[in-house]
Amino acid sequence: MAFLDMVALDLPKPEKIKTPLLVLGAARDNMLKPNEIEDTARAYNTQAEIIADVAHNSMLEQNWQAVAKHILVWLKELECKK
């Protein structure tokens, strides 16, 4: 039921989101293609960032620090805009 809810019953409503979002993708992701990540970012009126050398579970990868760095840089930039 959770999967069905996720893909058909309770779809996201990007127009209702007012907070800044970071949309990250993984270059070696076998589940989501870069264009799907970019489409998601576009729906939320932001830019996608595709991280090289990581797969779908990017925070479990050997190169997880690259993912964490992207997140930290984004948070710092967000804080500077306040």
Give the domain range for residue 74.
2-80
What pLDDT score was predicted for residue 29?
94
The C-alpha atoms of residue 33 and residue 7 are separated, in whole angstroms, by: 17
pLDDT < 70 regions, the chain:
6, 9-10
Q: What is the pLDDT of residue 12?
A: 77
Name the domain count of the chain.
1
Tell me the whole-structure pTM to 2 decimals.
0.79
Question: Maximum CA pair distance of the chain?
Answer: 41
